[in-house]
Structure 1
Amino acid sequence: MQMTILHVSQPVDGGVARVVVDLVKGQREAGCRVLVACPPGGRLTAEALAAGARVLEWPAERSPGPSTAAESLRLRRIVRGAAPDVLHLHSAKAGLAGRLAARGSVPTVFQPHAWSFAAVEGRLAEASLRWERFATRWADRVLCVSEQERADGVAAGLEARWQVVPNGVDLRHFAPADSAARRHARMVLGLDQAAPLAVCVGRLCRQKGQDVLLDAWPRVVGRIPGARLALVGGGPDAAAVAERVRALPEPSRVRLAGDVPDPRPWLAAADLVVLPSRWEGMALAPLEAMAAARPVLLTDVPGARECLPPAHRPVALVAPGDPVALAERMSGILGDRIECERLGAAAREHVSEHHDIRGVITQVDGLYRALARRVEVPASRGSRVPQRF
């Protein structure tokens, strides 16, 4: 059965956009008709088009606000016109507008990619939680990327039809980087060939914790004087991060690489990849780093523990928001390049076995088909010819 799938995503960059594009590629290869509704700009439009999707412009702000009602109304028109077999909503804002737009009229999958109520505090967190408790009635499945993300939803009082499918990466795209690839990447990027290098790939925002990493970094340099740090990514906190870097004691040896179209050269150059997030569902950046045979150091947030090889968890996890613990662990790993290579090889093997994107696509396809088979079209609608784009 050829399915029509409509993905809706408000984030148009970062890990959520990568997840959408990877799903689009696999679904188009399987012969599905795939549409993506998203705001203009960012990478998602161009990459979804290149993957074979039809992209529908859906202007939407990242956060809820006065524009949400109009965004939901526009999305309702898109859903009706596309007549999808399955509606897949990615992240909190698309989940809000999409569930209001469809209200259970189409088989709906909501994928939070980290809970909205974990990202805020006070009354806003309370409002987000109330909404999620109410809106689960309009999702045929809540698709989590880690068991911890699901458990956090259950603990918060969400009553939903759950499914867990861990994130995956394209192992052909993120190939292991050997010593020759490291030398080449460092030459192209203008990096010292011998210096221990830590790389953080992620959107510059509070969630990803680059401020904690910069607080930890002087301690690392104190223990490993030649160490370098590269922050790869752009985002709303770019100016604040740059100011923090300027305020570091000299020599800080921190490089702001900005937003890059392809992180693979930075992964190839790295000895260690660090992501000190405050919250996640299951971040893609560590999976991509491990696929490139690079060791990772993560904060113990949802998805982090599950994505790591079990033997790595004692050394590759620290508590979120603790720059002292982060510095101590970074120094221990970064100061031993042979150990970095060993950990990286084991990480690649683990990702190959447990986080291949092909397995993710197969599981999601099975979910879609189970939902689509369950839908009965009322007789009054049976003769309606849906509008096709």
Structure 2
Amino acid sequence: MQLTILHVSQPVDGGVARVVTDLVRGQRAAGLRVLVACPSGGRLAPAAAAAGAELLEWEARRSPGPSVAAETARLRRLVRQAAPDLVHLHSSKAGLAGRLAVRGRLPTVFQPHAWSFAAATGALATAGVRWEQYATRWSSAVLCVSEQERADGEAAGIAADYTVVPNGVDLRHYAPAERRAARLSLGLDLSEPLAVCVGRLCRQKGQDLLLAAWPTVLRRVPTARLALVGGGPDQAALQDRVRTLPEPYRVRLTGDVPDPRPWLAAADLVVLPSRWEGMALAPLEAMAMARPVLLSDVPGAREQLPLADREFALVPVEDPAALAAALAGALADPMDCARRGTAARQWVTERHDIRGVVDRVAELYQKSTSEGQSTPRVPARI
């Protein structure tokens, strides 16, 4: 019997969209019927369709608000029409509307892709925790992408059936590429040290912290360059911030690009100073292309790094001074960056192949569907 899986996702760009697309591709290859409900616009819908998914248009805003009731009702209708065997909810907004819509009537896997309360403070953070404590009753399983993400959920009192499956990458798609050719294609100098940050331009990814650190980096490595690759809500503000830097600031904002691989190939170092994550995908993609990374010590970061890199490839969260020191030190030694990049490719090959992720998610689906429909397992906490 062919299993039917319904993935529900909002957001429709960035790492979450790539995770969903990779799962669709692997699940279709395994003979499953796969549907994706998501908003129109963004990259997820066309990418998922190209990977073999049937698309269901589900209009939903990225943030919670008054629109949640209507979004939940629309999703409930889509679930009834699709009649899936299992629903896989991606990120906090889909997790909110999806669990309200399904309410445990079907096996439901919730994948936070970083807990919603990690992005909030005060009353909003408290409300986020209490919602997750309550809504876990409607999850057959909670799929975390790092042990730290799972531990943070447990510490917040979210009593769930947890499974940890670290993120993976398509090692054939993200393969090592020649740096010289990539730089020529992008019009970059062949010899200048280059740091690249790939990610949605938003507070979560911390590009503002990178710009705060950059003048200090230039004082130590005057020929260094920085590229911020991606688009997002903070693009205009970051561009204004660049203009306030002392010249020559040597920073380039590329805007949204269809394929970040040329920029990853051109880099000496890939940096991502996030404020929160579950396990960011961009560093894995960079390491798969044999590029070393520098990360803030958020959930998932330590676990995805080669053991030898964990002492000097992690910096404290929201610490521009530490970020500047680590970034300048790496860019001052391109040969060491190349050596670390080779080791990073081997590490990702052994531990983060997307084919292994697809297999482990399939095992989770089998467990969830064989145990039948989800039922409340914990008392109400409201």
State yes or no: 1:91 paired with 2:91. yes
Greater shift in the superposed pair: 345-354 or 368-377? 368-377
CA distance in 1, matches of 2:84, 2:238: 42
Whether the 8 Å CA contact 2:104–2:373 is kept in 1: the answer is no
Q: 2:317 aligns with which of 305, 316, 320?
A: 320
- Any residues of structure 2 matched to 1:113-152 within 5 Å, and which? 113-152=113-152
**SS of the residue 2:37 aligns to:** strand
Superposed CA deviations along residues 318-345 of structure 1, whole A, max 9, x for unmatched, are 0010011001011111111110111000
CA distance in 1, matches of 2:286, 2:114: 20
**SS of the residue 2:55 aligns to:** strand
Superposed CA deviations along residues 245-280 of structure 1, whole A, max 9, x for unmatched, are 111100000000111111000000000000000000
Q: Name the structure 2 match of 1:345.
A: 342
| Letter aligned with residue 21 of structure 1 | T
Q: Name the structure 2 match of 1:386.
A: none
State yes or no: 1:371 paired with 2:365. no
**SS of the residue 1:36 aligns to:** strand
Whether the 8 Å CA contact 2:205–2:273 is kept in 1: the answer is yes
Identical aligned pairs, as a percentage?
72
Q: Name the structure 2 match of 1:154.
A: 154
- Any residues of structure 2 matched to 1:1-389 within 5 Å, and which? 1-177=1-177, 181-375=178-372
**SS of the residue 2:311 aligns to:** helix
**SS of the residue 1:84 aligns to:** coil
CA distance in 1, matches of 2:65, 2:327: 40
CA distance in 1, matches of 2:112, 2:247: 41
Q: Name the structure 2 match of 1:380.
A: none
**SS of the residue 1:236 aligns to:** coil
The alpha carbon displacement at 1:34 in A equals: 0.2
CA distance in 2, matches of 1:374, 1:128: 28
| Letter aligned with residue 89 of structure 1 | L
Q: Name the structure 1 match of 2:379.
A: none
Q: Name the structure 2 match of 1:382.
A: none
Whether the 8 Å CA contact 2:106–2:373 is kept in 1: the answer is no
The alpha carbon displacement at 1:62 in A equals: 0.5
**SS of the residue 1:198 aligns to:** strand
The alpha carbon displacement at 1:369 in A equals: 1.1
| Letter aligned with residue 356 of structure 1 | D
After TM superposition, what 4+ stretches of structure 1 lie above 3 angstroms from structure 2? none
Superposed CA deviations along residues 207-251 of structure 1, whole A, max 9, x for unmatched, are 000000000000001000000000001001111111111111000
CA distance in 2, matches of 1:2, 1:312: 44
Q: List alignment gaps of at least 5 residues for structure 1.
A: 378-389
Whether the 8 Å CA contact 2:38–2:57 is kept in 1: the answer is yes
Whether the 8 Å CA contact 2:107–2:373 is kept in 1: the answer is no
CA RMSD of aligned residues (A): 0.9
**SS of the residue 1:127 aligns to:** helix
The alpha carbon displacement at 1:376 in A equals: 6.7
TM-score, structure 1 as length reference: 0.95
CA distance in 1, matches of 2:371, 2:156: 29
The alpha carbon displacement at 1:125 in A equals: 1.1
**SS of the residue 1:110 aligns to:** strand
CA distance in 2, matches of 1:275, 1:6: 31
CA distance in 1, matches of 2:141, 2:307: 29
